[in-house]
A and B are shown apart, each in its own frame.
Chain A
């Protein structure tokens, strides 16, 4: 009996650590499917539950993305100007801004759109690009996910839509700001942006 229990335990652990054997596409697809399941769950049709649904999706997004890496790459060389505390604060506010900006869209648009997995490209053993496209009412959007293996999990650190890298786009904006302003100013501006977003959302 004990042996059986041990065996079952082993299987449990094995399935947990399987994530590392899983390729980047499977990892990404797993997260996206989980999100889609939530989105199509009839339970959340009730408008009062939209908030709960949103929080659950946010949880999945947090698991799928490595926001520290996203933030670091968006700051690039400017990363060195930030103290560890500032880096942490920056990452928190920035990821909330991204979440706010894109969650509504994800919540609203999934019905009219389909995701097709085109393929994956291994850049190194621990880095990959997963190529997908979103098929919309009219036309398609190519979306590439840059993924990195971290602690045996594949996580997204950049998204490229029609060749436009999210990280590079923010880098150009942060650069522009950091030429004239300090890291604290930038964090302040991010907070202001977040406030604006939340106010606009409440309307």
Chain B
């Protein structure tokens, strides 16, 4: 690690930069990160009835998986604000179908993918302080130095972050950390589930995290507030343009979309905390 002293100097410079710097933008929420793949409208017909082997499995009252189940960690989250949350879930649902989706679809039709990708890269690069500081707060110094190196490479070679040349260095893994995860590593639990309008699913802990992270995001320092919100909205539309169809697929597959999204959010956050 011959670059280490330089890295430390840079840390100090950066922390000084952060304390005085402007910064922010809202997380791209709304869409469940259910890993679903974009969807297409095609050949639509009932599937052939599936032939499942007759017999044994169905009469087993105590199959193996029940024993495994007992050992599995169960994910539960309190939901005392159920009625508010469900209301906000419907609000966000309508927001997506009536506003975000049509706007992002039109935007995608007009703006070339390269430009949209550049915009996303730019905002991601701008949020480096959030990831960097939270890596440090979690004691992940290697990840922090990777984040820093990524920032330097992408801001220079990547022309202010519009390109992402750092992805050509697989060893420079993105440290996807935020304050909610930092709190979790300090042993603070989720609290309870909250759905925010526009921002989507969260928990008490992650809400405090989000609020704290705002201080590290340049966009939140833009004045006046309208412009700052406008930039955040633009970013949201840009991000949505890459995942049109994901939310639809999620809903198409779910029986209880509200419970499904709540569970997906908690599972996804748990995985991020584990990492």
Contact across chains for A161 and B35 when beta carbons are under 8 A apart: yes
Q: For the complex, count residues of B whose C-beta is within 8 A of A.
A: 54
Is A58 in contact with B48, judged by CB distance below 8 angstroms? yes
Residues of chain A with a CB closer than 8 A to B242's CB: 136-139
Closest to B32 in A: A164
Contact (Cβ within 8 A) A189 B253: no
Of chain B, the residue at the smallest CB distance from A97 is B253
Note all chain A residues with C-beta closer than 8 A to B272: 163
**CB of A164, distance to nearest CB on chain B (Å):** 4
Interface stretch (choices A3-11, A20-28, A45-53): A45-53
Chain B interface secondary structure, helix, strand, loop or mixed?
loop
Complex contact B50–A76 (CB within 8 A): no
Within 8 A of B (CB), among A108-140: 108-109, 112-113, 134, 136-139
The answer to whether A31 has its CB under 8 Å from any CB of chain B is no
The total of Cβ contacts below 8 Å across the A-B interface reads 180
Find out whether the CB atom of B267 lies under 8 angstroms from the CB atom of A163: yes
Structural contact, A169 and B264, CB atoms closer than 8 A: yes
| Cross-chain contact A88 with B52 (CB below 8 angstroms) | yes
Q: Which of B40-54 contact A (CB under 8 A)?
A: 40-50, 52-53
- Contact with B34, one of A91, A98, A100, A164 (Cβ below 8 angstroms): A164
Q: Does A105 contact B (CB under 8 A)?
A: yes
Q: Which residue of A lies closest to B63 (CB)?
A: A72
Task: Confirm or deny: B33 has a beta carbon within 8 angstroms of a beta carbon on chain A.
Answer: yes
Contact of B263 with A169 in the complex, beta carbons under 8 Å: yes
- Assess whether A107 is in contact with B43, with CB atoms less than 8 Å apart: yes
- The interface stretch among B14-22, B134-142, B148-156, B254-262 is B254-262
Check: A200 CB closer than 8 A to any chain B CB: yes
A99 at interface, CB cutoff 8 A? yes
Q: Is the CB of A91 within 8 A of B52?
A: yes
B2 within 8 A of A: no
User: Interface on B for A, CB 8 Å cutoff?
Assistant: 32-50, 52-53, 57-59, 61-63, 65-66, 69, 75, 113, 116-117, 120, 242, 245, 249, 252-256, 259-260, 262-264, 267-268, 270-272, 274
Closest 8 CB pairs of A and B: A108-B40, A161-B35, A163-B271, A50-B43, A201-B44, A101-B253, A172-B263, A84-B58
Seen from chain A, the residues whose Cβ lies within 8 Å of a Cβ on chain B are 47, 50-51, 53-55, 58, 62, 67-69, 72-73, 76-77, 79-80, 84-85, 87-88, 91-92, 95-109, 112-113, 134, 136-139, 141-143, 161-165, 168-170, 172-174, 176-177, 189-190, 193, 197-198, 200-202
Sampled A-B contacts (23; CB under 8 Å): A47-B43, A54-B45, A58-B48, A62-B50, A76-B69, A77-B69, A80-B62, A101-B249, A105-B245, A136-B38, A138-B117, A162-B34, A163-B267, A163-B271, A164-B33, A164-B267, A168-B263, A172-B263, A173-B254, A173-B259, A173-B260, A177-B255, A202-B44
